[in-house]
């Protein structure tokens, strides 16, 4: 190829990038649907041409980058991604990265592995949204004047309702209430009923009340043009504070509901051009916008409230004939709740399917054969988590290959199979979804970690750090045991970012290992909502739900028992403790005759641990929709809450419950 021909090609590339800059500016300034569609179509064609020219000239890495950008513009073109300000910023960053790469190519510099490395996280999130059919909706919940833990406690549908309210120019008020325990149900129901008349209750969040620790504190978020406090009929001292937490005047004009939506005007025909083949006659698939599901859930909550009011009316009138009808209605409503909840969920298997090709490619690249195993694919996780988990998982798996799994020769010398083992599993307990990443590699060299920790000043000379602390040190910013960075890891970045991302999603990360035996990284995520089969009981006037998977037996004793006494159940002698005492409340004055045997699997015992819990009465068995609580306001032993017509039901964590019971029994012995 002559220099003149090459100059002409470079000039054509410059023209394409110049056109792309013009179209990006058009996306920033124009909100007219037809103009947005024209700009996206032009950008799609430009990146498609750049891809072809780069491939023709042998610049394979550039061609891959251009192809990735082309795919994103195609997703917008087909309506699978919505053009928003943040999306346009990411696309602009990607194009600028390609343009900088073009300048390097023209100077004769070698190609990098990935031109889009600096924006790979943002691009990955967009690709995940497109694959899941998301609309890329704006989230305005960050504009709420609330502490970060309370904003994070909002479920996805609540954030969507916040966004809709602010876009519709409706203020969001925060009422902080202090409720006495004995009148909690009555006062909360009275307040929420009155507020539902004046506006829409978006969320009820437990909060701490340092000035009144004897009261139960709740922050209720209400979307309303205005609130008439006199009409709320609040008991004296109940209202602790009232403030505006969401000001719609701060919403940018482009994001208000009255502004034209920055979305392509003609989506359906473009999507239909490349639609998949026909679905079998027995299955019809409909795609609904997430906002539609949010609206259905909100309407369902209102129907449930009406059902509760009807049940209270029937109870006052002693209308026994209404009981079976109300029970049937409750079952149907719960089923509908479960269906709507499942619409928000995705199989863990789909997440595993996205990881598998990358793991196999990494195995080939590093010449480290591995037996890959996935378990728990039938479980479900919230769709919003899928795209956000890919990046931390990718880093953890790369770290396992680079630091953990040995080469075939090294493994053979240790008497191991030449093929390494990598097992990724998902399990669910209550509302918590847990991922385990296990390998049978060399594990973490704690002596090396300690040496590096002392060199970095993370460990003082006189300290003797525990293995747990040394493992946690891996997640410190800039920490690495490598003297030189490798192609995969060792730059001192990544593990701290993994921890930050996981914690930012409300999860926890835990690391453990055994030298030359392998390592385990455990990620735990509390789900916003979960439906669990529970045994409903009442103790001390409070309604509780105990997951049926941990209930061994229910029985009634001929005489009342008190905490600390022994009782025989199915030929086994167990310790008895009242449920009230486990939850930190006073003992029942006359003891209890009804007991529930709860069993949990101990960490190092095959038989597990059993405890006989005393309750006042057994109500029924049934499925319960448990809603999560913010971590700072979650009582010990509680998985979540459910607001029922019979009062607030506290869903219990069996593992924590047995632990609390043992602590209570120890206190009885210690204090006589």
Residues 94-124 pLDDT 10s: 998 998 888 888 878 889 888 998 888 788 7
Average pLDDT of the residues in 607-633: 78
Identify the H or E element spanning 438.
Answer: strand 432-439
List, in sequence order, every residue forming a beta bridge with 382; answer none if it has no partner: 345
In a domain, 576, yes or no: yes
444 and 574 share one domain: no
181 and 88 share one domain: no
218-232, 269-283, 324-338, 513-527: which has the minimum mean pLDDT? Answer: 269-283
pLDDT confidence tier of residue 256, bands split at 50, 70 and 90: low
Among 434, 405, 435, CA closest to 422: 405
The pairing of strands 432-439 and 345-347 is unpaired
The pairing of strands 609-615 and 572-578 is parallel
∠ CA 416-488-503 to the nearest 5 degrees? 95
Kindly calculate the radius of gyration of the chain based on its CA atoms and give it in whole angstroms. Answer: 29
CB 192 within 8 A of CB 232: no
pLDDT confidence tier of residue 280, bands split at 50, 70 and 90: very low
398 and 489 share one domain: yes
CB 260 within 8 A of CB 284: no
Residue 418 maps to which CATH number? 3.30.565.10
Q: How far is CA 53 from the centre of its chain?
A: 42
Q: Which of 526, 551, 568 is the last residue of a domain?
A: 526
Retrieve residue 531's tokens.
């439906």
| b/e 634-652 (16+ beta carbons within 10 angstroms → b) | beebbbbbbbbbebbbbbb
d(CA 360, CA 372): 9
d(CA 182, CA 163): 36
In a domain, 285, yes or no: no
521 and 538 share one domain: no
pLDDT digits (tens, 9 = 90+) for 456-492: 888 888 888 888 888 888 887 767 665 544 444 443 3
Residue whose entry in the numeric block shows the structure tokens 């026909």: 278
363 and 242 share one domain: no
Sign of the torsion formed by the C-alpha atoms of 128, 131, 136 and 137: negative
Identify the H or E element spanning 368.
Answer: none
484 and 537 share one domain: no
Among 70, 127, 58, CA closest to 98: 70
464 and 559 share one domain: no
Q: Which of 248, 277, 299 is the last residue of a domain?
A: 248
Residue 9 maps to which CATH number? 1.20.120.160
Give the pLDDT of residue 232: 72
146-160, 367-381, 544-558, 583-597: which has the minimum mean pLDDT? Answer: 146-160
pLDDT > 90: percent of the chain: 14
Count CA atoms closer than 13 A to 627's CA, side-chain side: 18
Average pLDDT of the residues in 481-505: 61
In a domain, 12, yes or no: yes
Average pLDDT of the residues in 140-153: 81
pLDDT digits (tens, 9 = 90+) for 520-555: 999 988 776 677 788 999 998 899 999 888 898 999
Give the pLDDT of residue 46: 87
Q: Which of 213, 248, 283 is the last residue of a domain?
A: 248
Sequence-ordered list of residues with C-beta below 8 angstroms from that of 581, at least 6 positions apart, any chain: 563, 587, 661, 664
N residues, the chain: 672
Among 148, 79, 192, 52, CA closest to 630: 148
DSSP, residue by residue, 5-67: HHHHHHHHHHHHHHHHHHHHHHHHH---HHHHHHHHHHHHHHHHHHHHHHHHTT-HHHHHHHH
153-167, 360-374, 478-492: which has the minimum mean pLDDT? Answer: 478-492
Identify the H or E element spanning 221.
Answer: strand 216-223
Residue whose entry in the numeric block shows the structure tokens 């009242």: 578
For the cut 50, the answer to whether the pLDDT of residue 442 exceeds it is: yes
pLDDT confidence tier of residue 421, bands split at 50, 70 and 90: very high
Average pLDDT of the residues in 623-627: 76
Q: 120 is in which domain, residue-wise?
A: 3-131
d(CA 231, CA 461): 65
pTM metric for this prediction: 0.47
In a domain, 428, yes or no: yes
Q: First vs last Cα of the chain: how many Å apart?
A: 95
The burial of 474, by beta-carbon neighbours within 10 Å (0-12 exposed, 13-18 middle, 19 or more buried), is given as buried
d(CA 649, CA 652): 9
639 and 561 share one domain: yes
CB 50 within 8 A of CB 16: yes
440 phi/psi in degrees, rounded to 5: -110, 40
pLDDT confidence tier of residue 153, bands split at 50, 70 and 90: confident
In a domain, 281, yes or no: no
H and E: helices and strands count for the chain: 20, 21
Q: How many folded domains does the chain comprise? A: 4
List, in sequence order, every residue forming a beta bridge with 243; answer none if it has no partner: 174
Residue whose entry in the numeric block shows the structure tokens 């949990």: 600
Q: In this structure, what DSSP letter does residue 30 have?
A: -
d(CA 525, CA 534): 21
Residue whose entry in the numeric block shows the structure tokens 């240790």: 414
Q: In this structure, what DSSP letter does residue 401 have?
A: I
Highest-confidence range of 277-281, 315-319, 636-640, by mean pLDDT?
Answer: 636-640
In a domain, 332, yes or no: no
pLDDT digits (tens, 9 = 90+) for 194-248: 787 788 888 888 888 888 888 888 888 998 888 888 777 777 777 888 889 988 8
In a domain, 496, yes or no: yes
């Amino acid at each position: 190829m002559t220099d003149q021909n090459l100059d002409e090609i470079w000039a054509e590339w410059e023209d394409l990038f110049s056109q792309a800059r013009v179209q990006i500016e058009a996306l920033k300034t124009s909100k007219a649907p037809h103009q947005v569609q024209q700009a996206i179509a032009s950008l799609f064609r430009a990146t498609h041409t750049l891809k072809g020219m780069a491939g023709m000239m042998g610049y394979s890495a550039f061609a891959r980058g251009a192809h990735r950008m082309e795919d994103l513009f195609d997703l917008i073109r087909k309506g699978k991604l919505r053009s928003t300000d943040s999306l346009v910023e990411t696309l602009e960053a990607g194009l600028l990265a390609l343009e900088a790469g073009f300048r390097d190519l023209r100077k004769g510099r070698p190609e990098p592995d990935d031109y889009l490395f600096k924006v790979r996280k943002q691009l990955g999130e967009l690709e995940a949204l497109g694959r899941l059919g998301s609309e890329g909706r704006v989230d305005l919940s960050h504009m709420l004047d609330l502490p970060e833990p309370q904003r994070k406690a909002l479920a996805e549908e609540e954030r969507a309702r916040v966004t809709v309210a602010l876009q519709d120019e409706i203020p969001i008020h925060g009422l902080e209430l202090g409720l006495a325990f004995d009148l909690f149900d009555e006062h909360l129901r009275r307040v929420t009923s009155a507020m539902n008349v004046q506006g829409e209750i978006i969320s009820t969040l437990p909060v701490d009340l340092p000035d009144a620790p004897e009261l139960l504190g709740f922050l209720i978020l209400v979307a309303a043009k205005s609130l008439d406090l006199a009409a709320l009929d609040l008991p004296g001292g109940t209202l602790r504070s009232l403030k505006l937490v969401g000001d719609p005047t701060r919403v940018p004009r482009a994001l208000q509901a009255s502004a034209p939506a920055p979305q392509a005007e003609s989506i359906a025909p473009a999507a239909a051009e490349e639609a998949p083949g026909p679905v079998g006659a027995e299955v019809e698939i409909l795609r609904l916008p997430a906002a539609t599901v949010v609206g259905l859930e909100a309407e369902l909550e209102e129907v449930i409230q009406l059902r509760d009011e009807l049940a209270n009316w029937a109870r006052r009138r002693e209308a026994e004939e209404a009981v079976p009808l109300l029970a049937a209605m409750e079952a149907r409503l719960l089923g509908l709740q479960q269906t709507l909840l499942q619409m928000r969920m995705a199989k863990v298997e789909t997440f595993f399917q996205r990881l598998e090709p990358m793991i196999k490619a990494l195995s080939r690249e590093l010449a480290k054969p591995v037996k890959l195993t996935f378990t728990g694919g039938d479980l479900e996780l919230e769709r919003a988590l899928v795209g956000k988990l890919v990046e931390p998982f990718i880093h953890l798996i790369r770290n396992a290959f680079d630091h953990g799994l040995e080469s075939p020769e090294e493994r053979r010398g240790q008497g191991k199979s030449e093929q390494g083992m990598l097992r990724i599993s998902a399990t669910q307990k209550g509302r918590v979804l847990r991922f385990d990443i296990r390998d049978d590699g060399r594990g973490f060299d704690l002596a090396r970690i300690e040496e590096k920790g002392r060199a970095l000043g993370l460990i003082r000379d006189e300290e003797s750090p525990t293995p747990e602390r040394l493992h946690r040190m891996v997640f410190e910013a800039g920490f690495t045991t490598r003297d030189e960075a490798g192609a995969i890891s060792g730059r001192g970045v990544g593990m701290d970012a993994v921890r930050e991302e996981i914690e930012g999603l409300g999860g926890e990360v835990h690391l453990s290992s055994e030298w030359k035996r392998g390592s385990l990284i455990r990620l735990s995520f509390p789900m916003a909502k979960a439906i669990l089969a529970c045994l409903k009981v009442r103790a001390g006037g409070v309604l509780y739900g105990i997951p049926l998977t941990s209930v061994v037996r229910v029985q009634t004793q001929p005489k009342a028992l008190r905490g600390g006494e022994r009782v025989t159940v199915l030929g086994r002698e167990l310790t008895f403790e009242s449920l009230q005492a486990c939850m930190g409340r006073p003992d029942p004055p006359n003891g209890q005759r009804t007991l529930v045997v709860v069993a949990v699997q101990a960490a190092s015992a095959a038989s597990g641990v059993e405890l006989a819990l005393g309750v006042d009465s057994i109500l029924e068995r049934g499925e319960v929709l448990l809603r999560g609580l913010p971590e700072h306001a979650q009582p010990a032993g509680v998985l979540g809450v459910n607001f029922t017509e019979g009062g607030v039901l506290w869903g219990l964590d069996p593992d924590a419950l047995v632990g609390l019971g043992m602590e209570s029994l120890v206190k009885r012995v210690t204090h006589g």
